Chain A
Amino acid sequence: MNDDLINLAKSRRDVFKVLGGAAALGAVMMADAGFDPAMAQALKPAGKPMKAAFSNAGLQASWCAQGKTAAEAWGKLMNVEITWFDGELAATKQRAAIDNMATQKWDFVAIQTFGIGTLTDPIQKMIDAGTPVIAMDTLVAPPGTIAIHTFIAPDNIMMGSSVTSQLMAAIKGEGNVVMTQGALGHSGAQGRAKGFKAIVAGFPNVKVINEEPADWDVTKVARIWDSILTQNDKIAGAFFHNDDMALAAYNVMKAKGRTDIVIAGVDAMPPAVQAVLDGTMLATVRNPSCRIHGWAVAAGVAAVQGGEKAGKDIPNFILADGPVITKETAPGHLWLQKNFLI
């Protein structure tokens, strides 16, 4: 069935055109994307056009930009017109955008917050007005403080541990390793660090020589890695909380002739998957941007059209899982990303 679909589709847009014309095919695609078949039967495009508002941390980040495109593609598929409110990677900007969102009428909204707790007031206002609010990727507020419809997120601990396992296997469980962290206040960074440490604890011959946070900032990564490489002659491997930082550090390693260091990252955005394919990176684990944003569209339609109630018909948390990408799995994974399915 999927092969037929691939043959029919000349481009990624065509995939959605085909899907839009054939509901049965759509159900199969959704099932392939990880939907329970019974649920896929119940999940139908909106009967009448819906209006949804989406916001994520900032479209400057490729992960967020990909999420936007995915949400819009899923929106077309499910008859939902999506309006975007860019967080611009700034808590103040996103707060203003969500304040503006809250003054307008929406069938449902989905938000990935840039700063935990900064959007509580306008989100509460929308919930009070009866609008289902779906949280994506990051907690909007400390647990239990706000009654969102559902929270769709990856398991950051699992992402950190699964890719670290690959790293440990590649360095044969010994040597100096580095973990370059994201922003320490970010729940994703905290989870990834926890997963990394849990695995490394099982390897007594591995020594973590640096855990400095680079705050997702590639210029900071370059500075940190300049120092790390100057101070340490022997580094077996490195784990980065995202791929952008991994690729930035690789450039520093390359400039210093230290490309023997095995590196792994998180997100599995296309440049990193290519880096895995060409051997620059050992592995990366997918933080499934398309699933998170696409499923938010599905959850919103189910809430409005299907009348799903929070905590009753839909659980408070939905895990959007992503696999570890290695050379073997990379090509198939790129296809899935191209069609906003993971």
Chain B
Amino acid sequence: MSAPTDQISNLPKSKPLQSFVRNQLRNIAPVFTLLALVLFFSLASSSFFTMVNCMNILSQISITAIIAVGLTYVILTSEIDLSVAAVANAIGITVAYFTLQPDYVNIANLPMPGIIAIVLALLSALAFGLVTAFGVTWIGIPSFIMTLAIMQIANGVSALLVRGQIAYSYPSLITMLGSGSVFGVRWTIIVAILFLLIGHLILRYSRFGRYIYMTGGNREAAEYSGVNVKFIIGSVMVISAMCSGIAGMLAVAYFGSAQQNQFDSYLLDAIAAVVVGGTSLFGGRGGIGNTIIGLLVLGVLNNGLDHIQIDSFLKILIRGLILLIALIINIYAQKLKESE
């Protein structure tokens, strides 16, 4: 038997493999999770692995994807933005507020031409981002607290504008992008892909992207290297608010109505997508590729559970457990990396 020689010859090879797994565990685990989920649901339900349902999944994750692009930038700098869903809601309501509503809508709003309504809504998103950036970088409020306050403010803006009522009309461009399709593909999917692509290219190939990783990886080292850390953190906060605002505008058209507290669940969904995909909560590691995998894992999981016969009350628990497992892998991968 040649086992001893095999063992000897295998020894040097196993180390690079171990090292590879150790380094890439954060990226490998979510991909395996995704493949396992797709395989499981495809076997468990005949209606899951169909073109219609694949488009359905992409459509369902598209709004979250736009929010998650901005959030990925924030988390990569080791900060957090808890205001994404509330800002999305406020901006969606803002664009509706500046649009002429049907007679049965009882909102005292200010109708404007569509393009002006969109510009005003975008400026509002910018304002939210700038205020957050100012609070976090200039005053020095921790992003967790600052964005919590912005979340309340954005919810307040939403409440003030619609006063418990529901708006149903938006500028035609928003209606088209939010609820229309081109060649059978929803515009929201195309917009999300564009955001993800641009987000990836900036992170990967621009100096700004490298500075984001440096800021998140080691803030002091980045400062000593001449990176304007405050500018980087302020910028990602503004980017996050803009992504949320655009997502919010598309979402009100996607859902067909604008009302208070409509998008609350986007906050946890977006954070979960970023973290489940393997982007480190401690900053500096991960990226848009990870976020895409995270979005697909959550999208497939949420969708697939509706295609199999399972107790409704159990679905929430299963989602929670898979999220927990992903987080444990995330932290474990971080420790493995640090122990090297």
Chain A residues at the B interface, C-beta cutoff of 8 Å: 59, 68, 83-86, 88, 90-93, 95-97, 99-101, 103-105, 115-121, 141-143, 183-185, 213, 215
Contact = CB atoms under 8 A, between A and B. Distances in A.
A113 B200 CA distance: 37
Contacts of B264: 90, 92
Interface stretch (B277-285, B307-315, B321-329): B307-315
Contact of A100 (B104, B163, B256, B303): B303
Interface stretch (B20-28, B45-53, B121-129): B45-53
Given A103-B47, A103-B53, A105-B47, 16 more contacts: A59-B313, A86-B315, A90-B265, A91-B259, A91-B262, A92-B265, A92-B269, A103-B50, A104-B307, A117-B256, A117-B257, A118-B255, A142-B102, A142-B168, A184-B163, A185-B162
B155 to A, nearest CB: 11
- B: contact size bracket: 35 or more
B59 interface: yes
B165 A121 contact: no
A83 B309 contact: yes
Interface string B73-88: 0000000000000000
Given A92-B266, A120-B256, A121-B179, A142 B312 contact: no
B302 A96 contact: yes
Contacts of A117: 166, 168, 255-257
Given A96-B60, A99-B56, A213-B164, A68 B312 contact: yes
A118 B312 contact: no
15 contacts: A90-B265, A92-B263, A92-B265, A92-B266, A100-B307, A101-B306, A104-B307, A115-B259, A116-B257, A117-B168, A121-B179, A142-B102, A183-B164, A185-B164, A185-B260
A211 B60 CA distance: 38
B316 interface: yes
A97 B164 contact: no
Contacts of A96: 60, 302-303, 306
A118 B260 CA distance: 13
Nearest 9 A/B pairs, CB to CB: A184-B164, A117-B257, A100-B306, A90-B265, A84-B312, A118-B255, A86-B312, A120-B256, A185-B164
Contacts of B104: 142-143
Interface string B232-275: 00000000000000000001000111011111111001000000
A184 B307 contact: no
Nearest to B102: A142
Contacts of B303: 96, 100
